[in-house]
Structure 1
Amino acid sequence: MYEGITEKLVDFSRSVRFDDLPTEVVQKAKWIFLDSVGCALGGYVTDRARLALAFVTESGGRLQSGIIGGQHTSHALAAFANGELITALDYDCLGPLKGQHVTPYVTPPCLAMAERVHASGKDLLVALALAHEIGGRFLASLVAHRVPTEKPPYHEYYPRFSHAYTIFGAVAGACKLLGLGRLETLNAFGIAGASVPVPAGVKWEFINGPAIMVKFNAWAGWVSQLATVATLLAEKGFTGDTTILDGDFGFWKIVGSPFFKTDLLFGGLGEVWYKDVEFKLYPVCGLNRAGIEGIRSIMAEHGIKPEEIEEIVVKADPFIVTPNRMMTEVESFADMQYSNVNIFAVAAFYGDRPSPAWQMPLIYHDPQVKVLARKVRIEKYPGSDELIADALKKEKPLAMNTLVELSARGGKFMLEVKTPKGRPSNPLTEAELIEKFKMNASFSMLPSMRIPEIITTILGLEELDDIGRLTRLLTVD
């Protein structure tokens, strides 16, 4: 059972060439990279970035790879820093597959290795497409946040989920850039798989108190660093379990998944590339997007001012009422990413101006925001348990609306939001992604005159002969 899984995945990753990628996949890879770089630049406003960068500076190391918006350091530490920066605001894209975070775990190792070998833009695009494809498929093949049960409500939260499973995508992309052989790549998979963080994602959902910086209990910086180290060690001849994904005691069993859906891992691999990536318009948890848009739409349609609001009720996916999202006091950027009541209060005042500033004290300590936050109520969407159970039973994506009820001027206004901006069926345009990038970059230390060239270079990445030309634009040393 499950024999040859590791070899099959490695053989596929080593076989992919730029000409194998559909045009739409190449375009999506460039957009993901542009968005990721922008999120990293915007992430400088957070304490998470400040502390991570302080650690990198204190650790020293040879100047090998660039930190986005910062200086050069060792390959492994650059991957660590860039992973922390990309994920810092929780502004990075979701997907491909299952709406989970992939890019902060897989992009940094690819960027570090691309700079190491002076890779071309085409080489980096292949690595990024490969890393996201394998990372997304691997997440989909193992247990997610919820599993079906035989008793009401016919689903339960599963305690062993982790975004860190994306590490195999990161390793595949990094090994591809170094041109590692079959055995070296298998060893890199084994080193990484045996070292991945414990699957503690759902534990994070139920932390009752101030938000922590180790978001999802799956540290993007550490996973990125680990993937980079595994790749570099394998290149030198360090050995790992070359069958890490195989058999009854393979990785799926190691991390406690009740199943390993290899059909999702290999179905159409190389023929069907998943492009259903969701780009975020707001720097907060993705669960809050529909609620934000519902509030904004009601206020715009009826000319309601924030100070006229008497109450806001948002009914959404039950994940929105987990303890880590029900906190009412915001004292940090991390709190602001997940505090429902404060997110929706900020949306009422600043919803037309999303930016990293949402996670700065200037915004979340705004007295007006604090007053309105006390008027926000959060509930589960009616019938949500049945919708979830049905989706799990039929193994289909969960499509749950968000209902917003806003009371103002003595009346109640209601709006049901089905598809918030950024979903594949309601995507952000390239122009909107560029504006988001510019806004994020304005919070960084990069000279403003570089920004147009960075955008042009990334969107024309396939024309670049040496990725070093881009990393020089992205660094300040």
Structure 2
Amino acid sequence: MNETLTEVLGEFAATADMGAMPHEVVDEAKRLVLDTLGCALGGVTEPKGRIGIDYGVLLGGSAGEATVFGTPRRSSPVGAAFANAELVSALDFDAVLPPGHVSPYVLPGTLAFAESGAVTGRKLIEAVAVAHEMTYRFGKAMDYVRDMTDGETKLAPVVGYACSVFGAAAAVGMVRGNPAETIAHALGIAGALSPVNSHGAWIRHAPSSTVKYTPAGPLVQAAISAALMAELGHRGDRQILDDAEFGYRRFIATARWEPSHLTDGLGTEWRFPTEATYKPYPHCRVLHAPLDALIGLVREHGIAPAEIDAIRLWGEGWIKEPVWLNNRIEHVQDAQFSIAHGLAAGAHDLPPSRAWQAPEFVFGDSVLGLMNKVTFEVHPEYTAQLAQHPSARPTRIEVDARGTTYAAERSFPKGSPSPDPDTTMTTDELAAKFRANADGVLTDADTEALIEGVLGLDKAEDVRPLLRQAAGRPD
């Protein structure tokens, strides 16, 4: 009998060996951990982050083996994982990888159980790499937000990040030392516990709900439940990925299902590093190329917000949906996605950090007033350039100020791997972003020790001291 897909993926997870991984895979795993920890630290003052902390402690108690990042609080691995998942996604500052956001779903449980289990840095790197590779492959096998049909980008009726539950469950099983068979059962259970793909509804409704695309905390809990239930002896549906008629493909409502993406080259070809994308701004990724262009103009010409008469954007072609066209900013999270608010904020050239979402800035008269001067149209070359390269985001910005029109264009946003080497965020730039997120949350000494420790993660014999340096100061 042929192996099922859950069995193939379980074997991949259980046999992953950092020593056999290309150096770029190991490096990217470290970079993802660094960026994710920083985003969690930045989220501690956000409403979504505070709710996540309180619910996580309610769920897992106020004494335990795992750190609630950016706070002096500790909880069980289950509670800390919930809190940290919500913290990571609070600012919308975290890394992007097909099918969309991945790290807030696959890393919190992995980190919490790695800390409670005192695993080595090598084992943690293996789990991080497998979680991202597996999730990336699911993203390529299913409907995607930028899929092209008949030469046009069209948003599928049902899209989302629910499939990250598989990579998240596998990684928890890995740091707990589970064998391939147990991880395969966990994946079968994870498919049955998978959240619905609610992203499409969220995109089409405004003002948006604060659960975002798929709530991070509950998905992490589903993954943890799957891993631990399998460990305790539950049997998963190991055919759940193979059955196209009644299995995961059917009830997750993806029209496209190409399972070859899950297995082709698995274990020998690591694909996630080529599309791992980092965010230089705490705002939806769709606006990053426009922000690059706008902020460049503001700096080059010394344009003050009060001098601006109009901002015109030509950008991504598939985002004429309510969540991005929303101009009713009722909650700080609304500002993370609104095109008009994002450009108005960018024109103020505030250093990217959680300060972008401070209420006094989000609801300030200068930003809200400038929103009314922003217009958006689809860039005429969007589809053609996207077809040539997945990171292409053709953008044109025009700013009317002082009786002059200033213009700038971009092909690729900062943070994306692309033919332009300047768009890649270097490790030094990620470290600077980490410092901005940690400012006022950690001591300078702990900040620098964390950066050094994560970048040297492969040398750690026990990750507990490192992860516990991410605990914040007392409130």
TM bucket by the smaller chain?
A: over 0.9
Equivalent in the alignment of 1:228: 224
CA separation in 2, counterparts of 1:465 and 1:256? 43
| Counterpart contact for 2:11–2:181, Cα < 8 Å | no
Percent identity, aligned pairs only, is: 34
Equivalent in the alignment of 1:191: 189
Asked if 1:17 is matched to 2:17, the reply is yes
Equivalent in the alignment of 1:261: 258
CA separation in 2, counterparts of 1:411 and 1:84? 44
3-state SS of the aligned residue for 2:40? helix
Which amino acid in the other structure matches residue 27 of structure 2?
Q
| Counterpart contact for 1:131–1:173, Cα < 8 Å | yes
Asked if 1:458 is matched to 2:454, the reply is yes
Deviation at 1:366, TM superposition (A): 2.0
CA separation in 2, counterparts of 1:87 and 1:170? 15
Question: What does 1:88-103 align with in structure 2 at a 5 Å threshold?
Answer: 88-95=90-97, 97=98, 100-103=100-103
CA separation in 2, counterparts of 1:127 and 1:137? 15
Which amino acid in the other structure matches residue 158 of structure 1?
A
Q: What is the TM-score normalised by the length of structure 2? A: 0.93
CA separation in 1, counterparts of 2:260 and 2:356? 41
8-17 vs 318-327, which moves further: 318-327
Q: Which runs of 5+ in 1 are unaligned?
A: none
3-state SS of the aligned residue for 1:233? helix
Deviation at 1:329, TM superposition (A): 3.0
Question: What does 1:20-99 align with in structure 2 at a 5 Å threshold?
Answer: 20-61=20-61, 63-70=64-71, 71-95=73-97, 97=98
Question: What does 1:174-323 align with in structure 2 at a 5 Å threshold?
Answer: 174-208=172-206, 210-216=207-213, 218-248=214-244, 249-274=246-271, 275-276=273-274, 277-323=276-322
| Counterpart contact for 2:166–2:190, Cα < 8 Å | yes
Which amino acid in the other structure matches residue 113 of structure 2?
M
259-268 vs 47-56, which moves further: 259-268
Deviations 1:138-168 (A, max 9, x none): 1111111255556xx8553212211121111
Q: 2:361 pairs with 360, 363, 366, which one?
A: 363
Aligned length: 464
Equivalent in the alignment of 1:325: 324
3-state SS of the aligned residue for 1:192? helix
Deviations 1:379-432 (A, max 9, x none): 2112546667xx3xx9x7363301111111222222221112111131111111
3-state SS of the aligned residue for 1:404? strand
CA separation in 1, counterparts of 2:468 and 2:315? 44
Asked if 1:402 is matched to 2:395, the reply is yes
| Counterpart contact for 1:110–1:174, Cα < 8 Å | yes
| Counterpart contact for 2:57–2:79, Cα < 8 Å | no
Which amino acid in the other structure matches residue 430 of structure 1?
T
| Counterpart contact for 1:66–1:78, Cα < 8 Å | yes
| Counterpart contact for 1:31–1:459, Cα < 8 Å | yes
70-79 vs 162-171, which moves further: 70-79
CA separation in 1, counterparts of 2:3 and 2:118? 36
Quick one: structure 1 residues 443 and 338, their matched pair in 2 at CA, closer, same or farther if it must change by over 3 Å? farther
399-408 vs 340-349, which moves further: 399-408
Which amino acid in the other structure matches residue 96 of structure 2?
L
| Counterpart contact for 2:153–2:318, Cα < 8 Å | no
| Counterpart contact for 2:56–2:81, Cα < 8 Å | no
RMSD: 2.1
Equivalent in the alignment of 1:129: 129
CA separation in 2, counterparts of 1:122 and 1:137? 23
Deviations 1:58-113 (A, max 9, x none): 33535132211232212212111111111111100111x46x21111100111122
Question: What does 1:388-399 align with in structure 2 at a 5 Å threshold?
Answer: 391=387, 397=390, 399=392
Equivalent in the alignment of 1:416: 409
3-state SS of the aligned residue for 1:7? helix
| Counterpart contact for 1:41–1:443, Cα < 8 Å | no
CA separation in 2, counterparts of 1:52 and 1:431? 30
CA separation in 2, counterparts of 1:80 and 1:255? 23
Q: What is the TM-score normalised by the length of structure 1? A: 0.92
Equivalent in the alignment of 1:163: 161
Q: Which runs of 5+ in 2 are unaligned?
A: none
Equivalent in the alignment of 2:372: 374
342-351 vs 3-12, which moves further: 3-12
Equivalent in the alignment of 1:430: 427
| Counterpart contact for 1:121–1:463, Cα < 8 Å | yes
Deviations 1:302-344 (A, max 9, x none): 3322221110011111333210111213232211101111111
CA separation in 2, counterparts of 1:261 and 1:111? 30
CA separation in 1, counterparts of 2:297 and 2:349? 14
Deviations 1:31-52 (A, max 9, x none): 1100100000000121001112
Quick one: structure 1 residues 60 and 299, their matched pair in 2 at CA, closer, same or farther if it must change by over 3 Å? closer
Which amino acid in the other structure matches residue 228 of structure 1?
I
